[in-house]
Amino acid sequence: MSKHQDSKLRPLQRFRNRWSTQRIIIVVVAILGVGVMLYPTAASWFSDRVHATDISGYVDSVENLSPSAQKTLLDEARLFNKELPSGPLRDPYSLNENGEKMVVGAGSDAYKKMLDVGPGGMMGRLSIPSIHSDLPIFHGTDDETLSKGAGHLFGSGLPVGGTGTHSVLTAHSGFVNATLFDDLDQVREGDVFSITVLGESFYYKVDQIKTVLPEETDDLRKVQDKDYVTLVTCTPTGVNSHRLLVRGERVDAPAAGSSQTLPSQALDPGFPWWALALLGTAVLIVAATHPRKARPKPTTPDPKPAGDEDLADSLLR
């Protein structure tokens, strides 16, 4: 074998010595295990980032509209609410005998056009300060919509306020890829949440929290002389046998600086610390599995023969 070929094989041999098959398997399995544990946190971070982007895009779209155009859209939505029938609403998650949702996901074409100024059919923004939730609101309650944010239940009032209106907003809880209404069960009576549509903010104080069966929808009906918004999600998480209803009644805007005030900008999900945790874990695993070089044993000089020492002594004399 030539010296050139030998020089090429030496780095490969060193790599094989350092990275045995067993070591590679240990490192890969350990990193995958940590990745699985961090996945919910990472997925939630990415979802929050998308929500913040959607909300920022919505704010920009509204700002590009003239005040008269904004007023026209709000007036159309309020007229739409007045013409809504007062019949019972259906549970947004119930399925028929064919396994299909009983509620039409996006509703009529006229409904789809209402308040449609944001990206992807976004109609507004829902903020629940007590649980640090800030979600875009979309038309309908189909699966695609509910994977992106809060969905407006078709047949309920559009979320633009007004006496005798009752808007119903729903979102998943326990959704693997996003934190939506996961913490809705931590909302308490007296908490205030807000909805922003076309630059106008509407505030609602929680006055009723109920857990009901899917077919029990009487609490979603319109009530004369009341301005309600109800937030709906499935409960218990993973079982989804019941519905959690968190109802708010319209109140005046809280004082400036209050913890219940709607933030002017979309909530930033912050720095992805989970990425540092994954990187740090990977470094530690690689370091822990790195093969250690054996220390060379100390060598002692061989003793000289006795005859040589006697000869040297005799010469010196």
Q: Considering Cα of 15, then 18, then 22, then 28, what sign does the dihedral take? A: negative
Indicate the pTM of the whole model: 0.71
Is the pLDDT assigned to residue 224 strictly greater than 70?
A: yes
Q: Output the pLDDT for position 208.
A: 98
Q: Whose CA is closest to 121, among 93, 101, 144, 155?
A: 144
In whole angstroms, give the CA distance from residue 14 to residue 24.
15
> How many structural domains are present in the chain?
1
pLDDT tens profile 68-114: 999 999 999 999 999 888 777 777 776 655 555 555 444 578 888 89
pLDDT tens profile 280-295: 666 666 666 666 655 6
* Contact residues for 185 (Cβ-Cβ < 8 A; gap 6+): 173, 235, 244
Cis peptide before 236 (omega within 30 of 0): yes
Instruction: Decide if 238 is inside a domain.
Output: yes
pLDDT tens profile 179-196: 899 999 999 999 999 999
Instruction: Decide if 257 is inside a domain.
Output: no
Instruction: Decide if 122 is inside a domain.
Output: yes
Q: Which CATH number fits the domain that encloses residue 85? A: 2.40.260.10
Instruction: Decide if 274 is inside a domain.
Output: no
pLDDT tens profile 17-67: 555 676 677 667 766 665 566 556 666 666 667 778 888 888 889 999 999
Q: Which residues are catalytic?
A: 172, 234
Q: Output the pLDDT for position 96.
A: 55
Instruction: Decide if 233 is inside a domain.
Output: yes
Q: Output the pLDDT for position 158.
A: 97
Is the pLDDT assigned to residue 314 strictly greater than 70?
A: no
Mean pLDDT score of the chain: 79
